[in-house]
Structures are given as C-alpha cells and as structure tokens.
Structure 1
Amino acid sequence: MSEQKPRLKRPVENVRAELLADPDTQRIAKSLDMELEAYVELVLDYAQNPDKEPTLIVAPDEELRAAGYNPPTTQDVANFFIAAANGELGIGPPKSYYSGFEGKQDDANKPSLRGDEGQEPVKVDEETSQKLRQHVPKGGPDRV
C-alpha cells in the first residue's frame, strides 16, 4: 500500500491570496526574476501535486543567453557560496518558528565573552615587561 503525500487542506484561492500577500514569497519571486503571480502558481502546482518532481534543466551559458537569461559567472557563484557560509544572505528561519514573544536581538544588551570591552588597553613599556618576565617560571610543560 503506497503512502499518499498530503495535499492542500484549505481552498486554493485562500492559499493563493496568502502567498501573494506574503513578503517572503514576494522576495523569493523577485530573487528568481519571476513575476509574483507566476511564482505563486508554480508553488500552488507543487502543493496540489505533491508527487510531482521539480525539473532541473542544465544548459550551456550560450543557450541561456540566447533565451534571454544572464547566467552567473564562476566568481558570482563562488561569492554566493562564501556569503552563504558567512550568513550574509539574510535568509533565516520561517516566521512560523517564532511566537512573537521573543526579545529584541540587540548586541548592545548581550554580555561580553571577552570582558575587556569599554576598557582602555594596558600601556606596556619595556621596563615593566622585563620585570614581569622575571616572575615567569622557566622550563617547559614537563616542569612540576
């Protein structure tokens, strides 16, 4: 017996209206250079047909340019992955992960793990360094 994937439980018109109004959906459509309505219809198509597999088309850059697409350069792709690794893409968890009662994420209110913020650096001169070195025990890690 095969297990069926769940389909939409709400009317398509309601889901369509929510997707069209959702800022994340608008951002994704814009980043894909798609019209918002076309992107929403694509999402709804996959939501209504959960067994449908996405299509992946690999084409040479020349064919993409001839079709009106501007493919990214190797350097653009590398920069994208570096930005993703550094967390600079601005992609975060979905809004559904948040309850609305979370506090503001402000670095100014977080305690320091270093402990020296707001302190002036210690001024060190050569004479003081020599005096302090006299108190450092000589020897290596085997010394007891």
Structure 2
Amino acid sequence: MLAGENSITVQDVLTAYIILTLNKYCYNNNNERRILHTITIVNSRGVSDFIAPQDQVSNSLFMVLSNDFDDPYSLSNIAKTIRQSIIQLRDPKVLESGIATIDGLIRKNIRNNKFPNPQLVPNEIAVNSN
C-alpha cells in the first residue's frame, strides 16, 4: 500500500530496502552492527501552527527514534515500523510536548557547557524522511 497519510510511502520502502540489504549482506553475523531501528529526520512544518506554520519559510526538522523492528529481515516490517514512528511524531500533541521537553534539555545542556557528541550507536541508522 503506497501514498496516503497512514500508508507506507515509497520513501519508507526505499529506506527499508537499504536496511534489509545491509542487514542481510553486510551485518548478518554482526549483532552490534545489525540495524534494529532508525532515527528518522522528519519535517514537522504544517503539523502545528504553534510550532511551525505551513507557510514558514524554513524546514522544521525533528529526529524520531523508531521502535525496534520485530523482524530486521522483513521489508514490510521495517517499512511499517518506520512509518508508524513518523505518524506518531506528526501527532500535534506528541510533537508539541516533545519539542518543549527537548528545548528545556538543550537549554540546560548549553548552560552547563554540554554539547552534542554524535557517535556511532549500535544497531542504529539515521535517515531522512520526505
């Protein structure tokens, strides 16, 4: 099923295909590298006028961690899990409370001179959503 608000998109399937290919041919015997979930960068513009109105010029990006895949070797399971995490994030109530929480944590970290330290996390891949 493709297109539509609650359906799997072409982007979800392409991402799932890449993950499945990596898991099957590159990380099959590597429990630390096998991809079990994603961090998806999602544009949240237009979800809530309070956060980012539809006519806002810039993108409003937010990162969402998916649940672990029930089957990291199933194209449909990976794609559905990715789509579910994006749908959940685009719920205005979830997004508004999430952004408020993140904003507070970022401000606290800056006051304490703590900065992001991106590093490789086992079983994870970061992707962009459409």
Given the two structures, how large is their TM-score scaled by the length of structure 1?
0.24
> Larger C-alpha radius of gyration, 1 or 2?
1
The structure with the largest strand share of the pair is 2
